[in-house]
Amino acid sequence: MKAAPFSYRRAATLDEALAAGGETSRFLAGGQSLVPMMNLRLTLADTMIDISGLAELRRSGREGDRVFIGAGVTHAMIEDGRIEDPSRGYLRHVAGGIAFRSVRNRGTLGGSLAHADPAADWPTALLALGAEAVVRGAGGERRLPLTQFQLGLMETALRPDEILVGVTVPVLSDLARWSYRKFCRKSGEFAHSIAAAVCDPRRELAEVVLGAAADKPCRLGRASALLADGARVDPQQLGQVVDEDVRDATGLAASSYEFHLHRTMVVRACAHLREQT
């Protein structure tokens, strides 16, 4: 299929893009999700505003004890280490596992977050890292924890006249540990289950997040508390905690294949992280 007719406009500045935005327009960055959806007519737009050339969306740098990463930064830029990785290799690992290299060359971090597909990598990975979305519009700038930015299936807190300009992530200490587990039927496909675990005692960060299991990534509170506790946990106790978390997050029956898949991913991520102590 082909997209419905639309007008195309290439923005020269972020302010120009914001001025052109509205209810019936769409912002185009990498286009790896938006273009296929428009071709299938799942998304319609009167105007396509191209923001892929805006250098201000590809900047990155320190902001105190956090690092700002522009929304226009591609997966490949993160994978190749062309921007600072404050996460002790976590972000590079996640980026390197996204789809195929051709997609990573064009797809952007901001595009993935704004698209808000729960089976995508960045919504889950960045939630576990304690990331914050930086949004700009006519009313100024807003900073939202990802728990407030990601509202549901392909739904975010972005208003029609706003652009996601980037995210901030904490600079992890040398005590930080992380694990990222993803199950796909074959390499490059969307995930059927994602489990991310990040723990940094010095920053009081302990998060376990399950993705590709509900309408948005789910923070697993009991498993996160178990990581924060720091005590040795036997496999049986870990399994019981994860069972409760996955059941609450998904509503799946414990006998179902999907429940077993999600449980296995979370247990493996938590166990791998605990092995690093």
Q: What is the mean pLDDT of residues 47-66?
A: 94
Q: What is the pLDDT of residue 3?
A: 80
In a domain, 1, yes or no: no
Q: Are both 37 and 79 inside the same structural domain?
A: no
CATH for 27 = 3.30.43
Q: Are both 24 and 75 inside the same structural domain?
A: no
Q: Are both 132 and 33 inside the same structural domain?
A: no
Last residue of one domain, picked from the residues 148, 170, 192: 170
Total domain count, the chain: 3
Least-confidence region, from 17-26, 94-103, 204-213: 17-26
Q: Are both 243 and 262 inside the same structural domain?
A: yes
Tokens of 2: 């082909």
Instruction: Give the sign of the dihedral formed by CA 260, CA 263, CA 269, CA 272.
Output: negative
Q: What is the pLDDT of residues 128-172, one digit of tens each?
A: 999 999 999 988 999 999 999 999 999 999 998 899 999 999 999
Domain around 195: 177-275
Model confidence band, residue 26 (pLDDT cutoffs 50, 70, 90):
confident
Q: Are both 83 and 155 inside the same structural domain?
A: yes
Residue environment code for 151-170, b if the CB has 16+ CB neighbours within 10 A, otherwise e:
eeebebbbeebbbbbbbbbb
Q: Are both 151 and 253 inside the same structural domain?
A: no
Q: What is the dihedral of CA 17, 69, 76, 122, to 10 degrees?
A: -90
> Percentage of the chain with pLDDT > 90?
77
Residue 36 pLDDT more than 80? no
Q: Are both 61 and 160 inside the same structural domain?
A: yes
Q: Are both 34 and 117 inside the same structural domain?
A: no
Helix 257-275 vs helix 235-250: crossing angle, to nearest 10: 130
Q: What is the pLDDT of residues 226-236, one digit of tens each?
A: 988 876 778 88
Question: Which one, of 100, 56, 102, 96, lies nearest residue 80 by Cα?
Answer: 96
Q: What is the pLDDT of residue 7?
A: 86
In a domain, 2, yes or no: no
> Percentage of the chain with pLDDT > 70?
99
Coil, strand or helix: which one is 216? coil
Q: What is the 3-state secondary structure (H, E, C) of 105-122?
A: HHCEHHHHHHHCCCCCHH
In degrees, to the nearest 5, what angle opens at C-alpha 32 toward C-alphas 31 and 38?
65
Q: What is the pLDDT of residue 231?
A: 64
Q: What is the mean pLDDT of the chain?
A: 93
Residue 88 pLDDT more than 90? yes
Q: Are both 70 and 16 inside the same structural domain?
A: no
CATH for 192 = 3.30.390.50
Are 136 and 163 a contacting pair, CB within 8 Å? Answer: yes
Q: What is the pLDDT of residue 1?
A: 66
Burial of 223 (0-12, 13-18, 19+ CB in 10 A): buried
